[in-house]
Structure 1
Amino acid sequence: MGYKVAVVGATGNVGREMLQILAEREFPVSEVVALASERSIGSEISFGDDDLRVQDLAKFDFTGTDIVLSSAGAKVSAQFAPKAAAAGAVVIDNTSHFRMDPDVPLVVPEVNPEAIAGYKKKGIIANPNCSTIQMVVALKPLHDLARIRRVVVSTYQSVSGAGKEAMDELFTQTRAIYVNDPIEKKQFTKQIAFNVIPHIDVFMEDGTTKEEWKMTVETKKILDPSIKVTATCVRVPVFIAHSEAINVEFENPISADEARAALRRAKGVSLIDHQADEGYVTPVEAAGDDLVFVSRVREDYTVENGLNLWVVSDNLRKGAALNAVQIAERLVKDHLKK
């Protein structure tokens, strides 16, 4: 027997990926509903071999809906996720609004699947930030092996993390440079084409950006509250897939070979680390793939029990839509059996 699934924000980058992944993975659906804002009503969107007509989120009755996959912005989720949960649906929310709510589990299935059971408190499960997801997937097997004390991470985040308009801006600015047209900045604070911007989300009082704060607090909630995390998050002129340079300090000794062995066994991880030309993964190879790729594993001799890693993953898939669908898969397997 299948489940009635509603996708909120279905016309956005992540919403489209959610629909595609539901079809690819043959999620047991009885009905799929595509929901979006008023401006998208009546448009059609693909779900496998079928086309779905987009319905108005503001007028939709969630009664009878089993699962809601939501990726329409924090303000939208704040309004409609509780409404859907009150109607009996379980909401898997991809926005930042509920992530740090103590009554809402924050889940990466390869890392803390047991947390899904906490959905019963509010009927909501939070999907972590894209940059957090790929990092904790890579860190989990290492934490189990040697206990992580501190993480220093620098991200190289693609423009797709800021939405379709951001992707369009990179394309438009790149074309403008080649034809000598003026550069227009709408989505980013500075030119993104042929540039990098050390600024994602708003600045906070201590000088960090909210994206950096997210990586810190979400890692603690998902993996271990005792881990110290400091992040520098940078937007780069890449369309899809985020990269991260991660320095890790452990409580116990761990060699690069031991780390590689643990990563080879880890779910959701692909270790490609040949320490030679082309023996590592870049965003181009990771785009469209479901795995978290780890390369350049090496010991950091400047600290006791230190390692360096290079981690790359498709931010629209594992960093958002795939992780949400994987949560739904575990939810129906362990909690919502029909």
Structure 2
Amino acid sequence: MLRLDEQEPLSPGDTLFITNHLSWARGLSPTWQVTGCFYFTPDEGDTLYFETSSGRTLVETVVGSPVFLGETDSPVVINEINYHSSDEHDSGDWIELTVVEGEYDLGGWILRDERDDHSFVIPDGVTLLEGDYLVLAGDIASFSTFFPGIEPVIGNYGFGFGGEDQVRLYDSQGILVDWVDYDDEDPWPASPDGQGPTLELTNPSRHNYGFENWRSSTDPYGTPGERNSVYETAVPDPGHDSPLPGSWRLLSAYPSPFNGSLHLRVRSPHRGALAVSVYNILGRRVAVLKRNVPGPGTWNLVWDGRSRGAPVSSGVYIVRLESEDAFTAKRVVLLR
């Protein structure tokens, strides 16, 4: 049971977001009321009740297919973090971003630590393509002294990252795109805290919200502007004798944000019926995309941003593929 703190009155059309990850949810929309935290996981078939303080039930609903936002991926990824340089190689704090797929204009995007008043706005004219890297440096002069020739580098953001902190990335609409809540104590690696190495993501295609996919760089001072030193292949290589995919997989959903059509690339291991569902942030299914695939390969689907023929509103949506041997979900943003 979660007992809510006192809330502002809700008017028709208002949204109250109840979450177990306050910092993430507060970035979804500046107009929403956000509260929490609850420490239980609703499972399929559970009944959720929303009651008044006097015990009167306002809402009663059975959980259908839960959508766990933590299992989604961002197309623009926080890929490397340098939060405490060594004394002999003090390049200052810096963050590296990369793009998994597509092309993104990052002008107006915002970098923050755990404090909302610590903000750096990326200037206009900064565009990243798939595989590109961008370094956001706290002090460009210090960074360039130790990493000459690394470009692009922007910054001088005037605040630093601590040993237990957050790196948050918002788009130009103020929507939280990616975040990392890291630490300098076990199970997180300790050597990035003043010993020289950085925190590196093992692969930009993997989730970066937990410690599982982060390592200390094997390069003594990190790898800004290039592939991480701890890079691992996201999907095992099937080998030359088996070029076909081994399971259903949602490879990409782009562009995001989008305001027209969302293009989805799906990998299939064999012939069969393909179904991909789109859910809104409240967990309601708004669209199902289907097609029959004649055999193994990569296939394209398109969502036109509509539900039963009517345009859906701007916001965060979850695209989910499920099969008997796979589950994949990605978060996308629709802007009207």
TM-score (norm 2): 0.23
**Which one has more relative contact order, counting CA pairs under 8 Å at least 6 apart?**
1
TM-score (norm 1): 0.23
Greater Rg by CA: 2
More helix by share: 1
